[in-house]
């Protein structure tokens, strides 16, 4: 059985199989109850799946290259952590702030996409990511610089603190399900189709009446808001954040997930997150070689399978058949 | 006033290296219209090849630069073969991501081969420091600036006086037309990669010797700054790129001297973002970028 057959099988599950998989996923805290680290990996998968879904809207669906996703992640995490630590806000009250700040920075990063495209936009966003990291390191009076923010509280539900791994698993599972539903709706919505049209050809999109500037910036805002929200959850889960947690490699990882899974496909993004979080853990002995894995994957996918594992040809509902250029 | 002159000299030194690395971006972009993000990795590998020659063969700085240039050139050609050539017909976006993949792999390979820690560079030549009042000039600074001048002049001679240079200029004007004129564009692309990588390798050795420090991740920030330099000067234009490199070096040094050194790294990125937003063609550029 070759890889494409396996992929075909995985991406065309029957309804009952999907349900079984979902139940199995929800039962993970019970199954992994005696293996704390396994549960941590499961939580990481959910978190990164949300990030990949977030970045996929801009990178995959709208075709606007983002290499600074970690900056949005950092903004959400720092906003939430700072409010909880120094203003004694509850976790839940900080979420709208993270969301809105993310949206604001999504808007700011989205503006350049009106002027430059392709790899240039990638480098502008990379520059934005670096500036954000340098600000976090140097604005010591607010962020404590490289020392980071320790002791970020866990959220509380009805007065009891959610600190067990199992509880966090369900918290992030809820976030993932929410993001998944949102992204799936968006993919096949009028807005999603507008994004596809502008990715394929901006001039044609404009000619058929798509307000491409507005569609682009909106996709940035939504992506950034989702990623910043995930940042707030991450900070609360891991309880310590520092600028080191939001580096270029994290932006690369988000992108690698989307490319591996197949640009523009929400299912692919989740698949990419599962593979790229679980595989390195399974291949723990690789150590630093993991970065080699990401890099080789990026180059290899571009050369041999630019449409990814779960690429565009497999879009189920609206039957858009796109030729994928090599 | 003395601080100004001192920072001017420091800026010029660093700017000369940025210009060398930026020329690689410009040459490749000129022919292929892609941004080659493996370039920072090649710069670093070049430095390590020079380092190895200096450490194990005991050759001095100037010879190790030659080793670095040759090694980097070969590496550049291999990268082109593996990661760029298969994507000739694809959009530039794919080639960019592909080169980014290579750029991610190279630092890890270097880390495995030479270790993570920062090591001193075995230059094997004596450095002297000249004092003019409060101003000090290191002989290394003179070496860097003169090496950069020699390499840039060599590049100019190559591009304007040789058949391959002419083929290169013709390909950067139009690949299709050049093919019709019987130019072997694939050979031109290979030569372009070899030359830009050699320049980056020389830049890598010069920086490693200047700061007496070499480490696997040294390429990342420098390649971003060199790219900024290429964009500021006008990517695709050789004189523009040199101007851009010197400008970025000077601006950085001056901001370190007069504003704050902690935000020194951010200066280049801010310039980059502003430049791409307001004048994406650069100071001396000729191409209009993809715009809406």
Q: pTM above the 0.90 mark?
A: no
pLDDT interval class at B200 (50, 70, 90)? very high
Contact A114/B at CB under 8 A: yes
Measured between beta carbons, the chain A residues lying within 8 angstroms of B224 are: 123, 126-127, 130
Q: How far apart are CA B7 and CA B141, in angstroms?
A: 12
Measured between beta carbons, the chain A residues lying within 8 angstroms of B266 are: 130-131, 134-135
Measured between beta carbons, the chain B residues lying within 8 angstroms of A259 are: 97
Cβ under 8 Å to B: A residues 202-221 = 202, 212-213
Q: How far apart are CA B184 and CA B176, in angstroms?
A: 11
CA distance B262 to chain A (A): 7
Q: Which H helix or E strand runs over A133?
A: helix A118-138
Structure tokens at B160: 């304007």
Pair A180, A266: CB distance under 8 Å: yes
Contact B229/A at CB under 8 A: no
Residue B68 has pLDDT above 90, yes or no: yes
Question: Which residues have a Cβ under 8 Å from the Cβ of B97 and sit 6 or more positions away?
Answer: A65, A255, A259, A298, A302
Pair B63, B69: CB distance under 8 Å: no
Pair A308, A259: CB distance under 8 Å: yes
Structure tokens at B34: 């892609």
pLDDT at B201: 94
pLDDT at A311: 66
Residue A273: which of A283, A284, A262 has the closest Cα?
A262
pLDDT at B286: 57
Residue B227's closest chain A neighbor by CA? A123
Q: How far apart are CA B73 and CA B196, in angstroms?
A: 8
Identify the residue whose tokens are 């609360």.
A236
Question: Which residues have a Cβ under 8 Å from the Cβ of B279 and sit 6 or more positions away?
Answer: none
Q: How far apart are CA A21 and CA A15, in angstroms?
A: 10
pLDDT at B43: 94
**ipTM of the complex in this document:** 0.72
Q: How far apart are CA B242 and CA A43, in angstroms?
A: 49
Q: How far apart are CA A256 and CA B100, in angstroms?
A: 11
Identify the residue whose tokens are 């050699």.
B198
Domain locations in chain A as residue ranges:
41-247
Identify the residue whose tokens are 């840039």.
B152
pLDDT at B291: 37
Q: How far apart are CA A194 and CA A174, in angstroms?
A: 28
Could you say which residues of chain A have pLDDT below 50?
Answer: 314-326
Structure tokens at B130: 């000249």
User: Are B87 and A138 a contacting pair at CB < 8 A?
Assistant: no
Answer with the residue of higher pLDDT: A248 or B160.
B160
CA distance B34 to chain A (A): 8
User: Are B105 and A291 a contacting pair at CB < 8 A?
Assistant: yes
User: Are A302 and B220 a contacting pair at CB < 8 A?
Assistant: no
Cβ under 8 Å to A: B residues 88-107 = 89-105, 107
User: Are B101 and A306 a contacting pair at CB < 8 A?
Assistant: no
Q: How far apart are CA B219 and CA B110, in angstroms?
A: 11
pLDDT at A91: 79
Pair A306, A326: CB distance under 8 Å: yes
Domain locations in chain B as residue ranges:
2-131+138-152+183-278
What are the helix and strand counts (H, E) for chain B? 11, 2
Residue A216's closest chain B neighbor by CA? B292
pLDDT at B191: 92
């Amino acid at each position: 059985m070759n890889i494409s057959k396996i992929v075909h099988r995985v991406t065309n599950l029957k309804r009952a199989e999907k349900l079984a998989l979902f139940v199995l996923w929800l039962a993970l805290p019970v199954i992994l109850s005696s293996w704390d680290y396994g549960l941590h990996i499961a939580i990481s998968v959910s978190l990164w799946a949300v990030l990949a879904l977030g970045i996929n809207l801009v990178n995959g669906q709208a075709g606007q290259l983002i290499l600074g996703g970690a900056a949005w992640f950092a903004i959400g995490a720092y906003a939430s952590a700072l409010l909880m630590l120094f203003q004694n806000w509850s976790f839940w009250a900080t979420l709208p702030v993270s969301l809105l700040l993310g949206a604001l920075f999504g808007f700011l990063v989205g503006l350049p996409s009106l002027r430059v495209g392709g790899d240039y936009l990638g480098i502008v966003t990379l520059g934005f990511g670096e500036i954000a990291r340098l600000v976090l390191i140097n604005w010591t009076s607010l962020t404590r610089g490289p020392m980071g923010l320790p002791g970020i509280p866990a959220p509380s539900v009805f007065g009891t603190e959610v600190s067990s791994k199992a509880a966090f698993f369900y918290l992030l599972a809820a976030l993932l399900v929410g993001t998944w539903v949102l992204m799936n709706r968006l993919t096949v919505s009028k807005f999603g189709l507008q994004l596809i049209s502008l990715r394929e050809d901006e001039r044609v999109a404009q000619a058929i009446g798509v307000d491409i500037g507005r569609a682009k910036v909106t996709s940035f805002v939504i992506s950034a808001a989702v990623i910043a929200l995930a940042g707030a959850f991450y900070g609360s889960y891991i309880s310590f954040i520092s600028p080191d947690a939001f580096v270029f490699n994290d932006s690369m990882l988000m992108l690698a997930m989307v490319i591996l899974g197949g640009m523009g496909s929400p299912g692919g993004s989740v698949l990419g997150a599962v593979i790229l979080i679980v595989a390195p853990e399974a291949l723990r002995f690789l150590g630093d070689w993991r970065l080699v894995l990401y890099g080789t994957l990026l180059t290899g996918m571009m050369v041999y399978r630019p449409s990814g594992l779960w690429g565009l040809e497999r879009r189920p509902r609206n039957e858009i058949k796109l030729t994928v250029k090599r | 006033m003395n601080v100004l002159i001192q920072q001017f000299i420091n800026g010029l030194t660093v700017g000369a290296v940025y210009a060398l690395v930026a020329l690689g971006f410009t040459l490749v972009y000129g022919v292929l219209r892609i941004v080659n993000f493996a370039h920072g990795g090649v710069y670093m590998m070049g430095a390590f090849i020079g380092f190895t020659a200096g450490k194990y063969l005991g050759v001095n700085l100037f010879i190790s630069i030659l080793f670095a240039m040759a090694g980097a050139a070969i590496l550049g050609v291999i990268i082109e073969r593996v990661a760029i050539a298969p994507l000739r017909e694809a959009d530039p976006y794919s080639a960019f991501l592909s080169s980014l993949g290579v750029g991610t792999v190279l630092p890890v390979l270097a880390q495995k081969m030479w270790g993570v820690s920062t090591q001193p560079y075995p230059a094997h030549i004596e450095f002297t420091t000249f004092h003019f009042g409060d101003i000090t000039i290191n002989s290394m600074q003179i070496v860097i600036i003169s090496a950069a001048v020699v390499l840039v002049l060599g590049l100019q001679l190559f591009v304007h006086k040789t058949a391959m240079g002419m083929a290169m200029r013709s390909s950067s004007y139009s690949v299709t037309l050049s093919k019709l004129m019987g130019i072997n564009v694939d050979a031109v692309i290979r030569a372009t990669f070899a030359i830009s990588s050699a320049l980056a390798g020389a830049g890598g050795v010069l920086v490693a010797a200047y700061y007496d420090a070499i480490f696997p991740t040294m390429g990342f920030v420098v390649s971003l700054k060199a790219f900024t330099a290429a964009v500021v000067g006008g990517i695709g234009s050789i004189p523009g790129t040199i101007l851009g490199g010197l400008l970025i070096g000077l601006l950085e040094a001056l901001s370190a001297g007069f504003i704050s050194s902690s935000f020194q790294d951010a200066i280049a990125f801010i310039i980059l973002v502003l430049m791409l937003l307001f004048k994406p063609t650069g100071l001396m550029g000729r191409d209009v970028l993809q715009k809406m």
